[in-house]
Amino acid sequence: MSETAVVASTLTDKLVAAREASIVLAQANAATKNKALRTIADAVMRNQSRIFPANELDLANGRENNMSEGLQDRLRLDEKRLAGLSHAVLEIADLTDPIGQVIRGSVLPNGLNVTQVRVPFGVIGAIYEARPNVTIDIAALALKSGNAVVLRGGSAAENTNRVLVDVIQSALAEVGLPFEAVQTIDEFGREGAKELMRARGLVDVLIPRGSANLINSVVTESSVPVIETGAGVVHVYLDESADLDTAVDIVHNAKVQRPSVCNAVETLLVNAASAPRLLPAVLTRLRESGVTIHADERSLAIFPDAVAATEDDWATEYMSLDLSVKVVDDLDGAIDHIRRYSTHHTESIVTNDLARAERFLAEVDSAVVMVNASTRFTDGGEFGFGAEVGISTQKLHARGPMGLPELTSTRWVVRGTGQVRS
């Protein structure tokens, strides 16, 4: 941050400053915003000597407070992850600016020219926990889409987020944009989060990312409109026609590649006809990677090297090397189980039967449905968005990985030549 900047002293001051910054950003052209993003990407890499010690302090505090391994993994920044974040910011800079895009339009019989165009929301609030990558991702996407953003990153990552926001603010000031376009309110604690949720009129939309408890709390308590992201009780269903090698590779990747994230599979469903053929190889590969199998009775009969599943397992987002496994009679049984326990995030079917694949896609009501692919692909970066704000599991304008278009609203622009209505 520039040394001459006046730092807001209260949360309301910060929100007012964010509103004023959003007006400037809404008028900034793509070249200016892209310059800011490239400056941020460079600054993130140049400030590793500040970022890593702050992150290690947060990790040390987490270990002292018995933070789970999954949350520690989400909290951790290393050279590879920081480089990935910097690269994602550069990718966002290369994306087409959504602001001003014409969605639809027409010339009316009376000569009026009517167009619907994309515009920024204005001020976005984000509440999340133990995810310093979200600080970079949301800030970059918000800036590119012309929005100011106010961040509540939680106490677990407070030291890391403080440094990251300072790095971003310095980069904004360097290119002549208001540093208040990206702010953290972590210093105001939980009361600050509550005030953010009540800041209707100053904050245009609120996006929570984190545990089911955090998301539900924001959805129920906020008077600011919320784009709901969801916990990931994610399913993979192995159909009776599934190829063995494909099933082994997809399930292993979906669980083991990074178990602490929301698109990791948590429940494996297996068709009864194919279970004796598929389960031994699929579950042996998982056990070799340290996965604890929580199996129903029929799965235990085929693979005894497991623990008995309980009713709670089917609704659990483990975020760890744990997987619940259930044998179902058929596709109907798989779909019924998913409808009962899914958080509507991501579900995948492994099959060589086109009709069953199409039925799965049509009847499973989740934000992302897949055929013969790992659920780990549900990600803004993997979908070509550069990064993501989160995975929306609601059914309003944004659903699935949220990129630039999902951070915009629209307005109607009418151009006339003196027409009056009769």
The type of residue at 349 is I
| Token pair listed for 43 | 């600054």
Report the C-alpha gap between 43 and 47 in whole angstroms. Answer: 6
- Domain 234-377 homologous superfamily, CATH: Aldehyde Dehydrogenase; Chain A, domain 2 (3.40.309.10)
Give the range among 108-117, 126-135, 277-286, 328-337 with minimum mean pLDDT: 126-135
| Helix locations, 198-330, DSSP H | 212-221, 244-256, 275-288, 297-302
Would you give the DSSP letter of residue 291?
A: P
Contact 135, 58 (CB under 8 A): no
pLDDT at 71: 86
Q: What is the pTM of this model?
A: 0.85
CA distance 156 to 77: 13
Phi–psi pair at 378, nearest 5 degrees:
-75, 90
Domain ranges of the chain: 11-229+390-415, 234-377
Determine the pLDDT at residue 11. 95
Is the CB of residue 14 less than 8 Å from the CB of residue 8? yes
Residue range 402-414: mean pLDDT, rounded: 94
- Return the structure tokens found at 23: 């007006």
Dihedral sign for Cα atoms in the order 269, 274, 279, 285: negative
Per-residue pLDDT at 1 exceeds 50: yes
CATH architecture designation of domain 11-229+390-415: 3-Layer(aba) Sandwich (3.40)
Q: What is the mean pLDDT of residues 47-57?
A: 97
Question: For residue range 118-160, what is the model confidence (pLDDT) as tens digits?
Answer: 999 999 999 998 889 999 999 999 999 999 999 999 899 999 9
> What average pLDDT does the segment 353-372 reach?
98
Q: Sheet holding 113-120: strands in order across?
A: 102-107, 113-120, 408-415
From the number of C-beta atoms within 10 Å of its C-beta (0-12, 13-18, 19+), residue 253 rates as middle
Task: For the beta carbon of residue 417, count every other beta carbon within 10 angstroms.
Answer: 8
In degrees and rounded to multiples of 5, residue 395 shows phi and psi of: -125, 25
Using one digit for the tens of pLDDT, what is the confidence trace for 197-254? 999 999 999 999 887 788 889 999 999 999 988 788 999 999 999 999 999 999 999 9
Which run of H or of E encompasses 345?
none
- Residue 5, pLDDT > 50, answer no
Give me the sign of the Cα torsion angle 252, 258, 259, 264. Answer: negative
Percent of the chain residues topping a pLDDT of 90: 87
pLDDT of residue 4: 37
Concatenate the DSSP letters of all residues of 123-180 into one string: EEEEEESS-HHHHHHHHHHHHHTT-EEEEE--GGGHHHHHHHHHHHHHHHHHTTS-GG
Tokens 């001020």, located at residue: 123
Q: Is the pLDDT of residue 2 over 80?
A: no
Residue 326: is its pLDDT beyond 70?
A: yes
Give pLDDT tens digits for 207-216.
Answer: 998 877 888 8
Mean pLDDT confidence for 329-357:
97
Over residues 18-42, the mean pLDDT reads 98
Contacts of 248 (CB under 8 A, 6+ apart): 281, 282, 285
Please, what is the Cα angle at 312 between 269 and 222, to 5 degrees?
Answer: 105
Q: How far is CA 237 from CA 136, 180, 226, 240, 266, in A?
A: 34, 47, 31, 10, 11
d(CA 232, CA 342): 8
Q: What is the mean pLDDT of the chain?
A: 94
Answer yes or no: same fold for 11-229+390-415 and 234-377.
no
* Residue whose structure tokens are 């001459």: 4
* Element spanning 5, H or E: none
Q: How far is CA 272 from CA 214, 360, 365, 372, 392, in A?
A: 37, 17, 23, 19, 33
CB atoms inside a 10 Å sphere around CB 100: 13
pLDDT given at position 8: 60
pLDDT tens per residue across span 85-130: 999 999 999 999 999 999 999 999 999 999 999 999 999 999 998 8
- Choice between 153 and 389, residue whose per-residue pLDDT is larger: 153
Using 50, 70 and 90 to split pLDDT, how confident is the model at 316?
Answer: very high
**DSSP code of residue 274:** T
Provide mean pLDDT across the span 66-75.
89
pLDDT for 89 equals 95
Over range 276-297, report the average pLDDT: 98
